[in-house]
Amino acid sequence: MHLRAEAIVLAVRAHGEHGAILRALTPVDGMLAGYVRGGRSRRLRPILQPANIVLGEWRARTDDQLPQLAVDLVHSRALLFAEPLPAVALDWVTALTASVLPEGQPYPAVHAALAGVLDAIEAAPAARGWAVALVRYELLLLAELGFGLALDRCVVTGATADLAFVSPKSGAAVCRTAGAGYADRLFALPPFLASGGAADWADILAGLAITGHFLERDLFGDRRADTLAARARLVDRLKRAVA
């Protein structure tokens, strides 16, 4: 194996006394892991920062061997980690991606969407500039991994108008008339998820409630409580920011 590509750093784990195992998302080859010699050094730690873009060179003698990985920094987002809200957003979106994507399988749409979310956070650290993109990214991940939500028509009547709820069981939209009397058992469907457009904070938090439910149920189950804790911190900070 010999691959050279730009990649988004997703996760870093210490390995041995001085090294680190890096997981990074490439545009064509998906998420790849590699061993970075000296990855815990003062020189490399700022480079191996989640959300950074690096130029990586993976080398391995066999397909089942963990590749050796050399990295050069292309673009740093380290300064964003000094801002509390962007920091928790970057922590969550990179940890989520590293936790749920299988290694070595191409997900070009996920790479493009993740790059867009990270760019949005960097361009406008205030959450209003990127929160909608984050919700849409979580929806995309669910769809790419086989758990997409059906938000274009009512699961009960087939209607495409006046969609007001989402079933927590089926992940399908429910129109207002069909959901009458069951609102306490359903998620409110914010208009921007069904038809696009702008979203206010109530809509964004409603969208996060929907995606959070299905991420935990379908992609995590009982796994990675620490990863989901990062999302809980993000949602809590968003709620406090708009209170």
Tens of pLDDT, residues 20-68: 999 999 999 999 999 999 888 889 999 999 999 999 999 998 878 899 9
Statement to judge: residues 232 and 162 lie in one domain: yes
Statement to judge: residues 216 and 115 lie in one domain: yes
Statement to judge: residues 85 and 169 lie in one domain: yes
Tally: H helices and E strands in the chain:
7, 9
Strands, E, within 100-162: which ranges? 150-154
What is the per-residue pLDDT for 126?
Answer: 78
Statement to judge: residues 61 and 84 lie in one domain: no
Statement to judge: residues 110 and 197 lie in one domain: yes
What is the per-residue pLDDT for 223?
Answer: 65
Whose CA is closest to 137, among 174, 100, 83, 166?
A: 100
Statement to judge: residues 114 and 222 lie in one domain: yes
Let me know: does 175 contact 154? Beta carbons within 8 Å.
yes
What is the per-residue pLDDT for 156?
Answer: 95
Statement to judge: residues 57 and 93 lie in one domain: no
- Residue finishing a domain among 44, 76, 108: 76
Q: How many domains does the chain have?
A: 2
CB proximity list for 217: less than 8 A, separation 6 or greater: none
Q: What is the domain range of residue 107?
A: 80-242
Statement to judge: residues 43 and 96 lie in one domain: no
